[in-house]
């Protein structure tokens, strides 16, 4: 019943590796996010403490979560890209 | 100028659709843009798809009225993309074809999964469509001077044309253009806000004189309020949840004042108000309501780091300095609160000044009661959970993984999306706070805060931002209608009912489905006029996270997952999330019932419905192990 991907792509030798590091990075980000939510719930007044340049913890942590997301994403992409290249080289050498 | 720019934009969008229509012949082309979109274009299109009216209008509006609490939505929405990138993106691309139902069903070929997932896609898409269409009407009403319903019909007609002509290809490029323009011009407005700086008497660059609200003192003797100035005559008073209001006659005009008691001194502050009379007439600030006589735009700084008057003005400020000043306890921000009560036969709505210190504005607590009861805390936790898990389960987001050629491209486009969306969400802080301190918040609806902030810098910026806001609605609604169209034509008609369509018939069925869903969206947009945009989007996130995410996660990571487990989990998540919301305090309040009598004291269902959906999947899968083939 035409149940194939819209664009065909070959088997991915790096799939398991990418899933593994993806799960670990997800867990890392989830912990940092959970700590943010926990501070809000358990110690909400901490959020108004000034951390640097007159910015409070709420702003620093909030912006930090957004910046951390991008940094983690770029690291993830770099690691995936390296492994994909290695896998391709290994296949080419066979 | 606003209308010209708006019409040019609409013409551009329709021209693009007709151009791509000639190239769209196959089902792959219609539902997935042939799987040939470049990952960078797809990444910005992701941003254009995701940054809906709720993000641009809703979050900015919420920050403008509730400070940092509005920014929590930005944080939660962005965090959700980490689930999409690390867990969902590449496997979804490898498993699916056109829809997320394909991915769930790839290893089973189960009619139960097809039916449940297609219905879930439709339900989530429709819940998401309603606020977009309501937002469209709200936006077009002041821009073109047409009634709300006409605005909704116009948006619906344009979107149906976009989707029904060329499907995913034109939708992708509309979202790409809109996503790019949204980020660039939001940045321009933020730079303008910082360049203007902060003042306790904001006059929109000299365009609109600042309205100084009067303050008078009073005394009380034998339970009677006494005012020295005899031009004020006390006519009555009201107390609503601890807030006191006094009705004064001033030169024959009935006015409402907010009363503050401190250290034995009584201060009365001028408010804005509207009064609905029993005979159907309406007064605004004491005079008959007209197009011109509406409540003034509000919000300003009462003090900047303890200073008031001309010496408090900062001149241009840096981005960190801006936030630092607003976080200072000695900075006083005048937010406006809305209070409703009855005065005899009159229904009175008072918009009263509500002075908040900077340290309270810039931390959670004004909207979400993080210092409240355990149930209020649980509600907040539930919301943050749904926002985190909802993004990766939204059908209109998931289908964008099928528009790129490979799993690696799906990953790269998600990273581009995270960069664009994350940057935009940082800007929302400046847009929302900029609206609050520049006195451009409409007391009747905060949804227009960002466009009104742009208007304070001149007509050109307002025209551009309004056109982008309109494009925001177009982009998201197009994506939602494509997702719903795929669920009907591909999942239900072709795969569930097995009608045996060829490619051409599939495309035709998709177009007809898009037309029908578009008509339904128009009807709902008119029906739900006035309903809170952010509330409905939050509901869509909760339903998506409860119905779809457990299945996506478990099929990838638990080998004992079965088809019946997935179908049961989708139905359980969907029904429990919607059920909890229908009996929540917010829905009770919206339907005129006492929120205190709501059987479920939670507005956000995720904390119960998401684990329940996981649990049902596990139990049913274990019970059906012998009858079915394991997932992997």
Predicted confidence (pLDDT) per residue in B96-129, tens digit = 667 778 888 878 888 888 899 888 888 888 888 8
State how far Cα A55 lies from the chain centre.
25
Which positions in chain B touch A29 (Cβ < 8 Å)?
79, 82, 86
Q: Of the candidates B36, B381, B415, which has its C-beta nearest A77's C-beta?
A: B415
pLDDT of residue B306: 92
Strand-pair partners of B404: none
Contact (CB, 8 A) for B452 and B441? yes
Contact (CB, 8 A) for B430 and B423? no
Dist CA B117 CA B128 (whole Å): 16
More confident site: B516 or B140: B516
Dist CA B358 CA B306 (whole Å): 11
Is A11 near chain B, with CB under 8 Å? no
Instruction: Report how far apart, in Å, the C-alpha atoms of B173 and of each of B21, B49, B51, B52, B109 are.
Output: 13, 10, 15, 16, 33
pLDDT of residue B84: 87
Is B426 near chain A, with CB under 8 Å? yes
Torsion-angle region of B535 (φ positive above 0: left; ψ -120 to 50: alpha; else: beta): alpha
B 23-52 residues inside an 8 A Cβ radius of A: 27-28, 31-32, 34-36
HEC assignment per residue over B58-99: HHHHHHHHHCHHHHHHHHHHHHHHHHHHHHHHHHHHHHCCCC
Which positions in chain A touch B370 (Cβ < 8 Å)?
40-41, 44
Contact (CB, 8 A) for B382 and B11? no
| Neighbouring C-alpha atoms within 13 Å toward the C-beta of A63 | 15
Instruction: Report how far apart, in Å, the C-alpha atoms of B446 and of each of A94, B215, B621 are.
Output: 63, 25, 46
Residue with tokens 């003192």: B217
Which positions in chain A touch B25 (Cβ < 8 Å)?
none
Q: Of the candidates A4, A9, A55, which has its C-beta nearest B407's C-beta?
A: A9
Dist CA B431 CA B444 (whole Å): 19
Q: pTM for the complete prediction?
A: 0.88
Domains, chain B, in order of start with CATH, read 2-13+34-197+369-530 (1.20.1730.10)
Tell me what the pLDDT averaged over chain B comes to. Answer: 85
Instruction: Report how far apart, in Å, the C-alpha atoms of B544 and of each of A67, B61, B392, B571 are.
Output: 26, 24, 9, 11
Dist CA B73 CA B62 (whole Å): 9
Q: What's the alpha-carbon Rg for chain A, to the nearest Å?
A: 20
Residues near B438 by beta carbon (within 8 Å), at least 6 away in sequence: B193, B196, B202, B204, B299, B300, B453, B456
**Helix and strand tally (H, E) in chain A?**
2, 2
Q: Does residue A3 sit within a domain?
A: no
* Distance of residue A94 Cα from the nearest chain B Cα, in angstroms: 23
DSSP sequence for B383-414: HHHHHHHHGGG-HHHHGGGGSSSSHHHHHHHH
Pairs from B177-180 (Cβ < 8 Å, separation ≥ 24): B177/B12, B177/B13, B177/B48, B177/B471, B178/B48, B178/B468, B178/B471, B178/B472, B178/B474, B178/B475, B179/B44, B179/B45, B179/B46, B179/B47, B179/B48, B179/B49, B179/B51, B179/B420, B179/B475, B180/B44, B180/B48
The string of pLDDT tens digits covering residues B429-452 is: 999 999 999 999 988 877 788 888
- Top residue of B27, B73, B74, B86 to mutate, by most chain A CBs within 10 Å, is B86
Is A48 near chain B, with CB under 8 Å? yes
Q: Does residue A7 sit within a domain?
A: no
Q: Of the candidates B90, B359, B402, which has its C-beta nearest A18's C-beta?
A: B90
pLDDT of residue B230: 82
- Top residue of B364, B380, B494, B499 to mutate, by most chain A CBs within 10 Å, is B364
Residues near B15 by beta carbon (within 8 Å), at least 6 away in sequence: none
pLDDT at B79 > cutoff 60: yes
pLDDT at A5 > cutoff 50: no
Q: Where are the alpha helices (H) located in B271-368, listed in sequence order?
A: 319-327, 358-361
A 57-86 residues inside an 8 A Cβ radius of B: 57-59, 62-63, 65-67, 69-70, 72-74, 76-77, 80-81, 84
Residue of B471, B450, B419 whose CA lies nearest to B188? B450
The mean per-residue pLDDT over the stretch B457-474 comes to 82
Q: Does residue A10 sit within a domain?
A: no
Res. B506 pLDDT band, cuts 50 70 90: confident
More confident site: B438 or B251: B438
pLDDT of residue B532: 59
Which positions in chain A touch B71 (Cβ < 8 Å)?
62
More confident site: B322 or B373: B322
The string of pLDDT tens digits covering residues B172-203 is: 888 888 889 889 999 999 999 999 999 999 98
The mean per-residue pLDDT over the stretch B232-245 comes to 87
Residue with tokens 């059987």: B599
pLDDT at A2 > cutoff 70: no
The string of pLDDT tens digits covering residues A37-92 is: 999 999 999 999 999 889 999 999 999 999 999 999 999 999 999 988 888 777 66
Q: Of the candidates B79, B325, B365, which has its C-beta nearest A33's C-beta?
A: B79
The mean per-residue pLDDT over the stretch B133-144 comes to 77
Which positions in chain A touch B102 (Cβ < 8 Å)?
3
How many residues are given for chain B?
632
Domain enclosing residue A87, as ranges: 21-93
DSSP sequence for B613-625: HHHHHHHHHHHTT
Residues near B316 by beta carbon (within 8 Å), at least 6 away in sequence: B194, B195, B196, B197
Cβ pair B75:A65 closer than 8 A: yes
Domain count, chain A: 1
The mean per-residue pLDDT over the stretch B274-295 comes to 88
More confident site: B98 or B401: B401
| DSSP E strand boundaries for B109-231 | 215-221, 224-226
- Rank B31-35, B180-184, B226-230, B582-586 by mean pLDDT and report only the highest: B180-184
pLDDT of residue A89: 75
Dist CA B608 CA B460 (whole Å): 48
B 402-421 residues inside an 8 A Cβ radius of A: 402-408, 411-412, 414-415, 418-419
Q: Where are the alpha helices (H) located in B456-605, listed in sequence order?
A: 459-486, 503-527, 533-547, 549-557, 563-582, 585-590
Instruction: Report how far apart, in Å, the C-alpha atoms of B509 and of each of B323, B397, B504 are.
Output: 52, 22, 9
Q: Of the candidates A4, A53, A69, which has its C-beta nearest B422's C-beta?
A: A69
Residue with tokens 């209608």: B481
Contact (CB, 8 A) for B107 and B113? no
* Distance of residue B322 Cα from the nearest chain A Cα, in angstroms: 10
Which positions in chain B touch A59 (Cβ < 8 Å)?
68, 323, 327, 362, 429
Query: How wide is the angle at C-alpha A67 spanned by C-alphas A62 and A73, nearest 5°?
Result: 130
Is A91 near chain B, with CB under 8 Å? no
DSSP assignment, residue B172? Answer: H
* Assigned token pair, B419: 């960069």
Q: What percent of chain B has pLDDT over 70?
A: 94
pLDDT of residue B34: 65
Contact (CB, 8 A) for B314 and B387? no
Strand-pair partners of B110: none
Res. B35 pLDDT band, cuts 50 70 90: low
Q: Is B586 helix (H, G, I), strand (E, B) or coil?
A: helix
When mean pLDDT is compared across B80-84, B262-266, B500-504, the lowest value belongs to B500-504
Cβ pair A58:B364 closer than 8 A: yes
Query: How wide is the angle at C-alpha B627 spanned by C-alphas B624 and B631, nearest 5°?
Result: 70
Residues near B200 by beta carbon (within 8 Å), at least 6 away in sequence: B300, B301, B302, B303, B304, B307, B308, B309, B312, B313
Is B367 near chain A, with CB under 8 Å? no
* Distance of residue A17 Cα from the nearest chain B Cα, in angstroms: 12
Dist CA B632 CA B629 (whole Å): 8
* Distance of residue A62 Cα from the nearest chain B Cα, in angstroms: 6
* Assigned token pair, B106: 């790839």
Cβ pair A53:B381 closer than 8 A: no
A 22-41 residues inside an 8 A Cβ radius of B: 22-23, 25-26, 29-30, 33, 36-37, 40-41
Cβ pair A80:B411 closer than 8 A: yes
């Amino acid at each position: 019943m035409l149940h194939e991907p819209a664009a065909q792509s070959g088997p991915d030798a790096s799939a398991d590796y990418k899933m593994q590091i993806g799960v670990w990075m997800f867990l890392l980000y989830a912990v940092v996010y959970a700590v943010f939510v926990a501070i809000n719930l358990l110690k909400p007044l901490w959020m108004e403490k000034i951390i640097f340049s007159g910015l409070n913890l709420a702003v620093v942590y909030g912006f930090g979560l957004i910046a951390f997301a991008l940094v983690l994403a770029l690291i993830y992409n770099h690691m995936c890209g390296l492994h994909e290249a290695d896998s391709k080289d290994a296949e080419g050498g066979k | 100028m606003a209308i010209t720019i708006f019409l040019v934009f609409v013409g551009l969008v329709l021209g693009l659709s007709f151009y791509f229509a000639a190239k769209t012949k196959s089902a792959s082309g219609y539902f997935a843009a042939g799987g040939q979109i470049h990952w960078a274009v797809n990444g910005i299109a992701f941003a254009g798809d995701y940054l809906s009216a709720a993000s641009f209008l809703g979050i900015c509006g919420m920050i403008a009225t509730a400070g940092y609490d509005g920014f929590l939505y930005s944080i939660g929405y962005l965090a959700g993309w980490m689930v999409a990138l690390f867990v969902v993106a590449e496997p979804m691309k490898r498993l699916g074809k056109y829809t997320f139902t394909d991915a769930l069903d790839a290893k089973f070929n189960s009619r139960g999964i097809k039916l449940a997932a297609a219905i879930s896609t439709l339900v989530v898409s429709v819940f998401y469509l309603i606020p977009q269409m309501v937002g469209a009407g709200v936006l077009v009403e002041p821009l073109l001077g047409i009634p709300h319903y006409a605005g909704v019909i116009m948006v619906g007609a344009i979107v149906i044309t976009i989707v029904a002509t060329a499907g995913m290809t034109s939708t992708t490029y509309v979202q790409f253009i809109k996503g790019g323009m949204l980020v660039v011009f939001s940045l321009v407005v933020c730079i303008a806000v910082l360049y203007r700086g902060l003042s306790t008497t904001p006059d929109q660059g000299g365009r609109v004189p600042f309205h100084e609200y009067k303050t008078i003192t009073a005394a009380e003797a034998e339970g009677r309020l006494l005012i020295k100035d005899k031009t004020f005559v006390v006519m009555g008073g009201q107390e609503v949840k601890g807030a006191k209001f006094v009705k004064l006659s001033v030169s024959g005009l009935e006015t409402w004042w907010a009363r503050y008691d401190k250290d034995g001194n009584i201060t009365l502050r001028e408010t804005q108000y509207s009064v609905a009379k029993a005979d159907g007439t309406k007064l605004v600030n004491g005079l008959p309501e007209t197009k011109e006589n509406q409540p003034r735009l509000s919000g300003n700084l009462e003090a900047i780091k303890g200073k008031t008057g001309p010496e408090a003005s900062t001149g241009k400020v840096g981005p960190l300095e801006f936030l630092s000043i607003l976080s200072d306890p000695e900075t006083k921000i005048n937010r406006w609160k809305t209070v409703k009560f009855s005065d005899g036969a009159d229904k009175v709505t008072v918009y009263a000044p509500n002075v908040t210190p900077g340290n309270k504005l810039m931390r959670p607590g004004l909207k979400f009661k993080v210092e409240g009861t355990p149930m209020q805390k649980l509600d907040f936790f539930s919301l943050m959970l749904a926002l985190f898990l909802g993004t990766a389960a939204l059908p209109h987001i998931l289908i964008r993984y099928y528009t790129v050629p490979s799993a690696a491209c799906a990953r790269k486009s998600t990273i581009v999306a995270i960069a664009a969306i994350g940057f935009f969400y940082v800007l929302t802080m400046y847009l929302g706070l900029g609206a609050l301190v520049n006195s451009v918040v409409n007391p009747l609806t905060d949804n227009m805060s960002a466009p009104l902030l742009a208007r304070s810098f001149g007509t050109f910026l307002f025209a551009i931002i309004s056109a982008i806001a309109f494009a925001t609605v177009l982009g998201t609604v197009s994506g939602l209608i494509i997702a719903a169209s795929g669920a009907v034509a591909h999942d239900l008609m072709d795969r569930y009912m097995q009608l045996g369509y060829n490619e051409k018939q599939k495309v035709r069925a998709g177009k007809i489905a898009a037309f029908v869903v578009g008509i339904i969206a128009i009807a709902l947009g008119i029906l739900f006029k006035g309903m809170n945009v952010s509330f409905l989007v939050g509901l869509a996130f909760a339903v998506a996270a409860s119905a779809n995410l457990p299945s996506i996660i478990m099929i990838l990571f638990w080998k004992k997952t079965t088809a019946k487990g997935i179908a049961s989990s989708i139905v359980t998540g969907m029904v429990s999330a919607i059920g909890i919301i229908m009996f929540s305090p917010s829905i009770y309040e919206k339907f005129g019932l006492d929120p205190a009598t709501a059987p479920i004291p939670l507005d956000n269902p995720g904390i119960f419905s998401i684990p329940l959906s996981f649990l049902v999947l596990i139990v049913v899968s274990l019970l059906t192990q012998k009858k079915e083939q394991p997932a992997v």
